[in-house]
Structure 1
Amino acid sequence: GFGIIFGSFADNNSIKDCLVYNAAAENISVSGNNNSIDNCKSYSDDNQTEHSSTDYYIVLAGNNNHVTNCYAERIGNLDHVGHGIGFKEFSQNSLIENSSSENLSGGFYFRHSAVFNNTIRNCHSSNDDIGLLMRDGAHDNTFENCTIDNAYYAIAYLDSFGEDDAAINTAEANVIKNSIITNTRQAVIAYHEYNRPSAVVNNSIENCTIDNATNLFYSARANLSNSMTNSIISNVTNYTSGGTALDFNFDHSNFYNNGFSTPTGLGNLQLDPQFISSSDHHLQASSAMINAGDINYTADADDVDYDGDVRIFNGIIDMGVDEFNDMIFANGFEP
């Protein structure tokens, strides 16, 4: 069944202040262009059969669409793992922002090779099996200024037969930036084996803060030229699980209090990042993360940190999500 559905010729429409509950196949689905979904909630708690528990909670399959202030939640351990808020099939130049997911397998997602140039911004994943899912050829998308907390896999890549068999790679050239990933139950980055062989290629993580995880990687899929830069990784027990070799580059990133040796890489550090607290990942004024990022990093005109403060302050980019600004700090605008 379907809750609210806009077909491929449904353009320039709005869905606002709606709640959809247990529609089964898709609670809210938009396939047209230039549509908006604002302040809507999507739930499922139906566990009578796998087919009655909702599959897609909010799904976009058109261009230039906008989702804001929405919420998706799978209530309980339902037969279907459920997919939260995201893009699939044919979707470009669309935005999901200020939205949240709870207890889903792909709280947010980019899916299929015709899904590119989309952005997920200022969103929150909580208690999801997968916080951010990229699969079936999705490429050149951005996930920024978000949080992923208590996920089994914070970021997962997979590919499946019958979804987009023309896709060459699992996922390519997607960017995760200015995001906080905390309390990961299994792996922060999962190159998952399911189920079509392909490679995860040239995806990057930039200015992120990763704190408290069992494994940094789960590697069971081919991977090539992926990277992390200007980031902070702390309190992670193991480097990797799974049997596939990693091709991953770290540079200008800080590793602290982890259960593994710091990876080699240009500009990597092993220092206490001096967060404000265990739950507040802003930097103290004495933090060595300030001005410790890549000296050659050039900020764009719209480049900001997790809070929306301008990068770069004082000449060199900081590591992690927070671009420390002592003028803002002194005036009390940040904790």
Structure 2
Amino acid sequence: MTSSPTSPRPVRRLLGTGLAAALLLTACGGGDSGGGETGSAGGGEAAAPGGPLTFATGGTGGVYYPYGGGIANLLSSELQGTTVTVQETNASVDNMQLLASGQAQIAFALGDVVADAVNGENTFTEPLPICSLGNIYNNFTHVFTTADTGITTIEDLRGKRVSPGAVGSASEVTADRIMQAAGLDPQADIERAQLGVAETVAAIQDGTVDAGFWSGGLPTGAIVDLASSADLVLIPTGEYADAMAEQYGDYYFADEIPADTYEGQPEASPQVVSPNILVVRDDMDETLQQDITRTIFENQEQLLTVHPAAEELDPATADEVEFIETCPGAQAYFDSVS
């Protein structure tokens, strides 16, 4: 990797799972943890086995942060001499930039953002030197509101106060593309409030935002909280998946949020879905790539105690990602178990 991170500092926002105490001992770092030297996307020294690593995750209201904390705790326990800290971020776009600068060595990112980073498109001015440790789980688009707003379709968002997601998040990228597919101008046709999922839920509850977008695993904690306090409405987006895939790439497809995933959701909700990729720089030591991949996929039961998204871990299909190269160390592991 480009540099070794500095000594981790305790996070200011603590994990809200039952494993919080254990994770904080070994897995959680501050917002600036793992800074080290920053440099260009192509420079620096590759990360070798052992030593401190920073894992760029997401906000505390989503899946990335608690699930990333569980993975960090697992790697710190199982890989001798390795300590992994988690960093709270605005998620995918931020995470790719942290990898490029050397401030993080491992990151979660959604498929559309990963493809942009590999190709040097949209947010990214040049291709980033990254590779995949595998497709970890699928992220489901949630367009959520409450029954009292009367919003039931994407078209109904016109003229409303909407949070497409935090700046620098995959949720924002996906939200804007969905609105465009539905015939809305995401800059002009809504009143934008760029908030993370937890902040969006709070804004819906206090009436300052009408609806929000979120792309994440099932269930998402912040939306669980909203469903428990109001009549949750999930707005369907699955009808736009084919058009988005044709325009942008095969990392968009349609699937359903199963019925009863959230309180007061009696029917399945068709949504745009995209794979969630575990990403590292392509100059990471291949032995370390293989060790990280093996440890995650061979400890599924432990990770299931952190988040249900671990149910989707499958080494037989994790390397089936067409828009980014699988890291050679990860590929060696997947080949060994195929």
**After TM superposition, is the score higher than 0.5?**
no
* TM-score normalised over the length of structure 2: 0.28
Higher relative strand content: 1
What is the TM-score normalised by the length of structure 1? 0.28
Instruction: Determine which structure has the larger helix proportion and give its number.
Output: 2
Structure scoring higher RCO (CA < 8 A, sep ≥ 6) equals 2
